[in-house]
Homo-oligomer: A and B are copies of this chain.
Amino acid sequence: MTPRRFDDFVAGETIDLGSVKLSQDDIIAFAEDHDPQPFHTDPAAATSSIYGGLIASGWQTACLFMRLLAANLLNESLSLGSRGLDDLRWLAPVRPGDRLTASIEIKKTRVSTSKPDRGVVTWRGSMRNQDGVEVMTIDATFMIGTGRT
């Protein structure tokens, strides 16, 4: 398969990235490693929190998105990494048993002025749950090789 190059990314395109389901055990395991707050790790304590029950760490939602983005787009592209992101919003709680579906919309592209072998793609990502509720948005960029040197 020919990998996607910078020129293959066009503003306005929406790319589906697939979906992933997460269990209570997934939520607790991630949080114990990376975000050990009681409303992410302890179902009993979470019940008396403002969330009324266990919720996933927002960083887990972001990492699930990243995995789908890497596996279903970047690893089929001339991906060169990213310098960061501009905005990340956790809009609604993610709970045990939720299935999250990811997509990105390409917003803008520009060839690097200093390095003609790559371009910068600006995009908005979205995660929705099984009820169609948007649980996360992310505005960010990645660098993609042009295939020219």
Contact = CB atoms under 8 A, between A and B. Distances in A.
Grouping DSSP codes into helix (H, G, I), strand (E, B) and loop, the A interface class, with mixed when no group exceeds half, is mixed
Contact of A66 (B34, B39, B81): B34
Interface in A32-67: 33-39, 49-51, 55, 57-59, 62-64, 66-67
Contact of A90 (B36, B75, B83, B89): B83
A81 B82 CA distance: 26
B62 A59 contact: yes
Contact of A63 (B51, B63, B84): B63
Given A59-B62, A63-B63, A86-B87, A80 B34 contact: no
Contact of A51 (B66, B70, B81): B81
A99 to B, nearest CB: 18
A71 interface: yes
